[in-house]
Amino acid sequence: MKKSDTTVKAKESGLFVILYDLFRSIKLTIFLLILLAILSIIGTLIAQNASRSEYIQRYGIGLYEVLNFFNLFDMYHSWWFSGILLLLVINLIACSIQRFPGVWSQISRPPAGLEDFMLKALPYVERVQVESKDDAKADENIRTYLKKKFGNPIQFETESSFTLFSEKGRFSRLGFYITHLSLLIILIGGLLGSLFGFRGHVEILEGGAVNQIFLHVKGEDVSKPIDFSVRCDDFNVTYYDLRSQEKQVKEYISQLTILENGKEMLKKTLRVNHPLHYKGLAFYQSTYGNVHEITLGINRNGKERTYLKAHEGVIVPIPGSDTFIRVLQYAPQVHNFGEGVQVALFKPNQEPQPFWLLKNFPKFDEKRGDQFFLTLEGVTSKEYTGLQVTKDPGVWVVWIGCGLMILGLIVSFFFSHQRVWVRIPKDPGGEIVLAGSVNKNRMGFEKTFGELAEGIRSLRKQ
């Protein structure tokens, strides 16, 4: 082998060791957890997924561009936040791999008898000098006592003595790793939700149906089709029975139906905090309100008149032209001139300009001098239900991780690996040696070990 090849392999091995030492570092774990805590505080202080105009109004255009460059307005779905979570996953795996072999060797190590050299290493050792009238009966009582307190004892024999070994809680040493595994599962569930989940909204008129929702992406609502329809059969608002003029809402309820290929698949009464789940999507009762349906008159050349209906915020085409119209808002009173609506026309290669139409002044729009003028013919109001729509494929993964975490914490805090040896001489009148060890909760085991010694003394005196 050439010297250069050896040098390259040595460098690669050295780099691997450096990276492995970095990823298994507890300092890295603490740093990542503190960083996630700080980022969570920032995500709380900065409103997430608001509109661009709201951010510019709050922070100004310069600071907005900086914050938007670092994706701080949707930070929980950003690549760098997912990268931090992934780095924490690798760190936890590396820490577990480093310590697991030693713990597993302690768990899988076969039991052995009590040798003299072990007495110097075991933390709990006590000797009992007793004489018994019936050694066989006393030894059987000791065996029964150990089985009751720790577990079925295993016997090891030598020429001069036999040893009873008993233990309990061997697998409690894995509590730490169960907790680590639960954290990994929770982080993986969070990554799944961040990468493949979304949160959107939809508004459904009473009696209407929709087959798409809207996602808030970089300050804009982007439509996302779904492979079924949601119909709002009924919507009701109940109020508290108060004697004040101002009504306070008690509850609002939507009666929803899921439709697929024209067939009713599911009916659900939707209340606040009682969502509807279907095909991985969760629909939550979020808001409600009224939407106005505006009837407009389109007058051409003072002779031909057609009628057009449009809802607030919806862009519709004007028949027989290349122009679109959007009703911006309805007002019951416009500067003491009566009812009015603000609309905007969208024409090719022209900036839309908003203007008002007044019901009491039907010829008000003629002043624009366009090929047609508009009139406000009527207004009807309909209630709508506002639904929040979420998809989180990692939510069940997170719940599994939470269950494992509870199990791991219970095992870690309430169980310990306790081992005891009782060496009994075969010759009468000899010395009984008790020894024990525990991996945690030493004060509790010390009390148990003392009770065991006293119990054996009393048994040998019988």
Q: What is the pLDDT of residues 162-214, one digit of tens each?
A: 899 998 888 888 888 898 899 889 988 888 888 888 888 898 988 889 999 98
CA–CA separation, 462 and 458 (whole Å): 7
CA 154 from centroid of its chain's CA atoms: 47
Closest among 274, 270, 272 to 286, alpha carbons compared: 272
Query: For position 62, what pLDDT does the model report?
Result: 87
- Kindly tell me the sign of the dihedral angle through the C-alpha atoms of 130, 136, 137, 141: positive
CA–CA separation, 151 and 163 (whole Å): 15
Amino acid (1-letter code) at residue 459:
L
Q: What are phi and psi of 384, to 5 degrees?
A: -135, 155
How large is the C-alpha radius of gyration of the chain?
38
Contact 67, 43 (CB under 8 A): no
Interval 260-313: pLDDT, tens = 988 999 999 998 888 999 998 999 998 888 888 889 888 877 667 888 888 887
Give all strands of the β-sheet with 353-358 in edge-to-edge order.
Answer: 315-317, 324-331, 340-346, 353-358
Interval 115-136: pLDDT, tens = 888 888 899 998 887 665 556 6
pTM of the full predicted structure? 0.66
Query: For position 51, what pLDDT does the model report?
Result: 72
The region of weakest confidence among 12-21, 139-148, 194-203, 439-448 is 12-21
Is beta strand 340-346 parallel, antiparallel or unpaired with respect to 324-331? antiparallel
CA–CA separation, 32 and 95 (whole Å): 14
3-state SS class at 256: strand
Q: Higher pLDDT residue, 243 or 171? A: 171
In which element (H, E) is residue 68 found? Answer: helix 52-69
Q: What are phi and psi of 56, to 5 degrees?
A: -65, -40
